Amino acid sequence: MKFTQWLVSACLILTLPSVANDRAVRIGDWLYLADEPGLADCPDLACNIPVDLAIQKRQGAHFQEVNRIQLTQVNSGDHNLYLSNQQLVSVYSNRLQNVGEKAIFTTRMTAFSLADPLHPRPIASAKVPGELFASQQVGDHIVTASAEVVARRNGDGNDANAEADECTWFHRDETLPFRLKIHLLSLNTKSLAPADPQCLILDVKGISTLDLGAGNNSLHLLLSDGERHRIYRYRWQQQQLSLHGYAQLPSPFAFQNPTHMIAEQFGHLLVAGQYPSDSGNTGAVGVFALHSSSQPYPLSKTLPIGNAGSIIDSASKVTTDKRWYLASSSNDGAQLHALSVLLPGLPLELTSTALDSSAQTIIAHPQQLLSVYRSALPMDGQFEPQQWLTLIDNSNALRLWTVDQQLLGTGFSQQALATADTRRQTLHFTSRRSAKLLNAIEAPILPMSDQSSETPIGRALDLKTSLLERQPGCLSVQRSCWSVRKGVEHNFELPYFGAEPIRAVAMPADDQFHYVLGKDSQTLAW
């Protein structure tokens, strides 16, 4: 799921794009949920709101809660759960703030043993200062990135709160108003040993991009202050995270969306974005050779993507067959591009296909299907972007076929969920069916008034299930091998949680579809 986080500290506001891992993890008949309370009335931001790990077990056609343990008692957020080496790892950040004082953030990781799935037992933990803005799983390692303001300059340029440390410097300029520290914390779930934290330090007016990416036993930290753009590459040696080098991106350079824009293969770093050209910034993939003796890593070539002046909107992860999918847009329209990254340092565009609008997310399923999520303005009616899902058959390396398109509902974090069968796919879509259900309250809103109010008590939804089948032995040469066989619609109602937005985590399980919403959950069976 993609969102923007706000870090407010020492009067500095940073926009931190972040991709969060699921807050629900399913292991067989067990479901583990970081049960966040959602929005709360906390005027001074200092109240303690406990967050539990809710444990549910499948009982016939439903999941029922069988236990819960407390994850944290202090005000917290951004809870992520990871599964590694039969351990559950909880990642989150705490916030402590008294009225009139600076907020103090701490990012924490806790590993739980699942030897007894009913009673997870904490076996390792680690923490670093700063607010969590990204986390990644790389093999046996769970890594977090957090940020904190460590100094604020006086008018004469001197530090009001300077710190001497051994961090790597990104940029030093005593005239800039703030000094920011980025922390990387790594926990090995096999040895249960946290690596020594790594950190970067920089003087800034503000940060435009902070993100984490994963390579082959390596970690990529993308950092931009609006003028300088760098990718720091870290790797593990004897279970310790160490800085290998960095790529200095050319100026001017721009990211539309940093997620999955960095790929690593056979001694090269591939970076998609807007590179400078004779006609201005245009979409391209830059190839950097990973030579530790050459710092920064040298840029060996660029591969243009799309038309002149195009923008790279989104990217997929590199698939097991070494394909990388990028979406671009320009004044001439939007396109989806299939690249081969099999040959070292030689990315090659295999094919492309037109899209109706720019794409925000691309998911490459192992069943030779692509889920492309895009936004488009309706031709008529309200001026509100519509969210669309396009399913694309990518079984032919030289041709992309559009199988189906689905208009998604608004107000939900939605995704297409594929089963593991390579010949038959069941995809689930959720959309809002009707307005909120209303329940009249007789009490007047204002004293001496006969006015009455209505408050919502529930929401009606549609769950749409589409069955896609792949023809056995089909070669996708002149047409797609996938076809939509049928669609089933299920209607149901869910409680309404006041001001809290509905957040859904879908857990497909045989013939069940499990939804987690706020502090409640509901299992649908058919």
Collapsed DSSP state (helix, strand, coil) of residue 465: strand
Residue 518: half-sphere exposure toward Cβ, Cα within 13 Å: 14
pLDDT grade for 214, boundaries at 50, 70 and 90: confident
Q: What is the DSSP letter of 50?
A: -
* Lowest-pLDDT range of 19-33, 192-206, 419-433: 419-433
For 252-293, how does the pLDDT look when each residue is reduced to its tens digit (9 = 90+)?
888 777 888 999 888 999 999 999 988 788 999 999 999 878
Calculate mean pLDDT across residues 155-160. Answer: 47
For position 440, what pLDDT does the model report? 35
Q: Are residues 132 and 57 in the same domain?
A: no
Q: Are residues 66 and 116 in the same domain?
A: no
Q: Are residues 92 and 60 in the same domain?
A: no
Q: Which of 162, 184, 206 is the last residue of a domain?
A: 184
Q: Are residues 145 and 97 in the same domain?
A: yes
Does position 472 have pLDDT exceeding 80, yes or no? no
For 2-30, how does the pLDDT look when each residue is reduced to its tens digit (9 = 90+)?
222 222 232 232 322 222 346 778 787 88
Q: How far apart are CA 367 and CA 453, in angstroms?
A: 51
> Is 180 among the domain residues?
yes
Q: Are residues 66 and 103 in the same domain?
A: no
Q: Looking at this protein, which amino acid is placed at residue 108?
A: R
Q: How confident is the prediction for the chain on average, in pLDDT?
A: 75
Q: 66 lies in which domain range?
A: 22-35+50-73
> Is 347 among the domain residues?
no
- Looking at the structure of the chain, the number of domains it has is 2
Q: Are residues 119 and 29 in the same domain?
A: no
* Lowest-pLDDT range of 29-33, 72-76, 158-162: 158-162
> Is 123 among the domain residues?
yes
* Lowest-pLDDT range of 108-112, 310-314, 359-363: 359-363
* Pairing of the two strands 198-204 and 168-171: parallel
For position 3, what pLDDT does the model report? 26
CB 84 within 8 A of CB 101: no
Q: Are residues 109 and 144 in the same domain?
A: yes
Nearest to 297 by CA among 410, 196, 406, 220: 220
> Is 64 among the domain residues?
yes
Q: Looking at this protein, which amino acid is placed at residue 211?
A: D
Kind and range of the H or E run holding 512: strand 512-517
Q: Which of 163, 184, 205 is the last residue of a domain?
A: 184
Q: Are residues 29 and 91 in the same domain?
A: no
Q: Token pair for residue 166? A: 């051994």
Q: Are residues 146 and 102 in the same domain?
A: yes
C-alpha dist (Å) from residue 128 to 304, 386, 421: 40, 40, 42
Q: Are residues 103 and 179 in the same domain?
A: yes
> Is 223 among the domain residues?
no
For 114, list phi and psi in degrees, rounded to 5: -110, 25
pTM score of the predicted model: 0.79
Q: How far apart are CA 92 and CA 107, in angstroms?
A: 6
Q: How far apart are CA 344 and CA 35, in angstroms?
A: 44
Q: Which residue has the higher pLDDT, 312 or 446?
A: 312
Nearest to 352 by CA among 330, 367, 385: 330
> Is 136 among the domain residues?
yes
Q: Are residues 91 and 63 in the same domain?
A: no
Q: Which of 165, 184, 203 is the last residue of a domain?
A: 184
Q: Which residue has the higher pLDDT, 504 or 481?
A: 481
Nearest to 413 by CA among 5, 16, 20, 14: 20
Phi-psi region of 227 (alpha: psi -120 to 50; beta: other; left: phi over 0): alpha
